[in-house]
Structure 1
């Protein structure tokens, strides 16, 4: 295995382990906040988060897409990517609902709002859960084939 692939495998193993244990209070206190978030799928089949991030250590406050999504707990309000934890604020669906409501107040008969996330595709929760489970299984399989990779 080339060094770059070994490094990425180690990052994935570490992120998976962290997600399985779950975030500590300190992890979440230090985590960037992601508002109006949406899970997206890229053209390679990789899931990621999209949204308005605040307090990101490299990006500050901006609209962003994350590194590969490893785990998400919508109820507890957190997500884990390859690179870090995120605190989840309001989901993108809330923004859609607010826009529809604002259109109604302005006298427009709007039933839905369509947003184009091209070249990415929004993911529903069931599809995402299967995709994340498949990715974790694949990383575990590869790590067994390359035992020098460590969490």
Structure 2
């Protein structure tokens, strides 16, 4: 494994440990808020979140795609990426925007349903599918660590 891969896996393992422990009050106090978010899978297969972030340390309000998504707890209202925790406001679907690879039908458009599009990225609208993707990646990071490919 090359040095950048090593560093990536080490960051992923550290973020995974933080997610499993759950965010501390300090983590949540410092966390940006993600509004109207949708999970995506990158063209290379990595999970990420896309939405509007407020309170981010690098920008106050912006439409962003996060670093690699490590964990997401909808019930507790947080997500963990490689870089940080995010607080979760309601997801994009709650605003009447549905994610699909086609234009809304006239009836859907009349009901206020809008199309979300992020070329090259695949939306993950089923929470169980997202959990499976996150679990698969977590297992792979742990496997690399067990094989000694991160030391």
Structure 2: distance between partners of 1:64 and 1:24: 24
Cα deviation for residue 41 of structure 1 reads 1.0
The equivalent residue for 1:130 is: 132
Structure 2: distance between partners of 1:17 and 1:32: 20
Q: Structure 1, residues 48-94: CA drift from partner, whole Å, max 9, x if none? A: 00111011112331000000100000010000001110000121012
Give the TM-score normalised by structure 2: 0.85
The equivalent residue for 2:59 is: 59
Give the TM-score normalised by structure 1: 0.85
- Structural RMSD (CA): 1.7
The equivalent residue for 2:4 is: 4
Q: Which runs of 4+ in 1 moved over 3 A?
A: none
Which consecutive residues of structure 1, in runs of 5 or more, have no partner in the other structure? 98-107
Larger relative strand fraction: 2
63-72 vs 139-148, which deviates more? Answer: 139-148
Q: How many residues align?
A: 139
Which consecutive residues of structure 2, in runs of 5 or more, have no partner in the other structure? 98-108
